[in-house]
Amino acid sequence: MTQSNNSSDHGAYHQHSALFNAFFAISMTVGRGPVGRCVADLAGLTPDDQVVDIGCGPGTAVRVAAGRCANATGVDPSPTMLRFGRWLNALGRTRNVALVQGSAERIPLPDHDATVLWALSSVHHWSNRADGLAEAVRVLAPNGRLLLVERLVKPGAHGGLTGDQVDQLMSDVEAAGFTDVYRDTQSAGRRVLNVVRGSRGPAN
Ligand SMILES: C[S@@+](CC[C@H](N)C(=O)[O-])C[C@H]1O[C@@H](n2cnc3c(N)ncnc32)[C@H](O)[C@@H]1O
């Protein structure tokens, strides 16, 4: 898998203090293993798959994917997340894995580079969903699989999407050109996840 490394503008990612970012990066590793394994199961990963994780944080799910597929690339706008994730990759001697700076709206990867593209708890951070989904269509190979995973939250709460917002996400995924779009609910550890899935379809 090839990638460019344009770090100029990665959407509207908000720059917090270094201390906040470091704390957030560490917190993003706690309890994330079950979510990574759950989405890898749902995606039905094979050794031939090439996985891209949008908004990968410190890369827990990217490392799970790397153990089951040809290669896995995590994309995130946060330098702190990427630095921490690369350190964890080195610690675990994880091969066939790359973490690159970018955003959903500007994925620094070539066309048709992935057979699976997923985003775990990141869609609610995207600054422009239509642009992010257009990038997903571009980066996925024909018949590529899309999985968007979010915690279900109550209206007014942060950190996920409400039921109505998940319905809207499904509509947006269909409007972007994905086919066979559906949603379901999955348990991963103590978390209940909403999963929106779609297929990129065979067209080039
Ligand atoms: C709640 S964390 C989830 C991290 C990881 N996917 C996980 O489940 O452990 C959300 C991530 O989305 C990233 N993010 C923020 N804005 C983004 C954007 N526009 N495109 C892609 N990722 C974004 C953040 O930097 C952060 O790492």
DSSP letters along 19-60, please? HHHHHHHHHTTTT-HHHHHHHHHHHT--TT-EEEEET-TT-H
Query: In Å, how far from its chain's centre is CA 54?
Result: 3
Q: Note the pLDDT of residue 71.
A: 97
Contacts of 22 (CB under 8 A, 6+ apart): 80, 84
Read out DSSP for 105-155? TB--S-TT-EEEEEEES-GGG-S-HHHHHHHHHHHEEEEEEEEEEEEB--T
Report the nearest atom of ligand 1 relative to the CA of 36: 8
Query: In Å, how far from its chain's centre is CA 133?
Result: 12
Q: Note the pLDDT of residue 30.
A: 67
Q: How far apart are CA 84 and CA 152, in angstroms?
A: 27
Mutate to test the pocket of ligand 1, among 80, 99, 121, 125 (most ligand atoms within 8 A of CB): 125
Q: What are the angstrom distances between the C-alpha of 193 and each of 22, 122, 153, 163, 166?
A: 25, 13, 10, 11, 11
Query: Tokens standing for 130?
Result: 């239509």
Question: Ligand 1 center to residue 97 CA distance, Å?
Answer: 18
Q: Note the pLDDT of residue 3.
A: 40
Contacts of 60 (CB under 8 A, 6+ apart): 28, 29, 32, 33, 35, 36
Q: What are the angstrom distances between the C-alpha of 127 and each of 27, 59, 106, 152, 177?
A: 22, 21, 11, 19, 20
Kindly report the protein residue whose alpha carbon is nearest to atom 22 of ligand 1. Answer: 55
Q: How far apart are CA 109 and CA 127, in angstroms?
A: 19
Residues at CB less than 6 angstroms from ligand 1: 11, 13, 28, 32, 35, 54-57, 60, 76-78, 81, 103-105, 120-122, 125-127
Kindly report the protein residue whose alpha carbon is nearest to atom 4 of ligand 1. Answer: 57
**Which residues face 183 on adjacent strands?**
196
Q: Note the pLDDT of residue 15.
A: 59
CATH of domain 18-199: 3.40.50.150
Question: Ligand 1 center to residue 35 CA distance, Å?
Answer: 14
Q: How far apart are CA 122 and CA 160, in angstroms?
A: 9
The domain locations on the chain are: 18-199
Give φ, ψ of 97 to 5 degrees. -135, 140
Question: Ligand 1 center to residue 99 CA distance, Å?
Answer: 13
Kindly report the protein residue whose alpha carbon is nearest to atom 26 of ligand 1. Answer: 57
Enumerate residue ranges in the chain where pLDDT < 50. Answer: 1-13
